[in-house]
Amino acid sequence: MAGIRVENIEKSFGKFKALSGVSLEVRDQEFVVLLGPSGCGKTTLLRIIAGLEQADRGRVWIGEREVSGLPPRSRRVAMVFQNYAVFPHLTVFENIAFGLRMQKAPAEKIKAKVEQAATLMHIENLLGRYPAQLSGGQRQRVAVARALAVEPEVLLMDEPLSNLDALLRLEMRAELKRLLAESRTTTLYVTHDQVEAMSLADRIAVMNAGQIVQYDQPMKVYQEPANTFVGGFIGSPPMNFLRLPVEGQQARLASLVLALPSEVSGAEVLLGVRPEDFEVYTDQRPQSFPAEVLVVEPLGPHLLLTLRFGEQLLKATVPPDFAVRPGQTIWLKPQPGRLRWLEPTSGQALTAR
């Protein structure tokens, strides 16, 4: 068990700058998810921590040891790969035992540990099989069991669920969460799936263009995005950003006047509000603004509305029994506690300080 500390990591592939000065700290026993679109450098960062990739600059600590110059085998990490990377020429038992055999563990210990890891992943009845005889989900279980069997200080997972079909992914997600809550292994988990990140993480590090944009608890990241990128990337549909005129310490939204948390230098400000954070009415109410309905999409648990406010488009979700037609004008009341104010040019959030 150990934490991970990463300092000012830089990495370029040719002219492409994959990571530009990333620092990150993962506490002991914490589950941190690196979340970002493809090409944002999240996998590269994970591979640098594993030692599979060399950083151009910067340092990596695991626990109290600096591991920057060490090969993967000396870092006491275990990794789970996107394509499972289960050894096809070895049985499930030998796959799980691989790391222990490399440590030259005695036979009884290997047997005990393999069975323990296999039981944890519910594959104890598959130990004699070869990977070719397993389904994708079972292979993934073998890969996780193999990683856990060596009792690594740090577990690194690179999109471990993305090759599974949707239903299986849901099942494995819940199981991983249970498993890692039990084993309390420090875990760094890479994904581009925001739902996966939200559901698993103690903390999410949102990455974009080689940098960490926000590093916080899932609900914080969701409700208080650090900038327009985070608000747009997390949440489906993404956060709405309305460009509003500024009047002193306040912003004007139609007839509504909303207080700003801090002084704004420009003439405009962005209001970030999630689609579910509107109260929607068919008649005019106080503290609300009108918008024209363009599209109604029934999604089952709710209706997704595409609306036009002036020249700007926004999305809102409403209960499935809400009676509404395209062309109709409805009134939206943003929930006061759920508003996020951002600076329009930089996209950065305004802070209350």
Instruction: Summarize as ranges the residues that interact with other proteins (CB under 8 A).
Output: 50-52, 71-73, 75, 77-79, 81-83, 85, 87-89, 98-99, 102-103, 143, 146, 150, 156
Q: In 3D, which of 296, 290, 286, 283 has the Cα closest to residue 308? A: 290
**Number of neighbouring beta carbons within 10 Å of residue 196:** 22
Q: C-beta of 175: minimal distance to other proteins in Å?
A: 21
CB of 154 to other proteins, least distance (A): 10
**How far is the C-alpha of 188 from the C-alpha of 198, rounded, in Å?**
14
- Measured from the CB atom, the residue of 76 and 220 that comes closer to other proteins is 76
Q: Which is nearer to other proteins, 31 or 84 (CB)?
A: 84
Question: What is the spatial distance between Cα 23 and Cα 279, in angstroms, rounded to a whole number?
Answer: 40
| 240-247: strand order across its sheet | 256-259, 250-253, 240-247, 268-273, 340-342
C-alpha 185/C-alpha 29 separation (Å) is 5
Least distance CB 73 / other proteins (angstroms): 5
Q: Which amino acid is at 3?
A: G
Least distance in angstroms from the C-beta of 94 to other proteins = 10
Which residue, 130 or 322, has its beta carbon nearer to other proteins? 130
Q: How far apart are CA 202 and CA 185, in angstroms?
A: 12
Q: Nearer Cβ to other proteins, position 96 or 264?
A: 96
Residue nearer to other proteins on the CB measure, 102 or 174: 102
Q: Tokens 């130990």 identify what position?
A: 127
What is the nearest approach in angstroms of other proteins to the Cβ of residue 83? 6
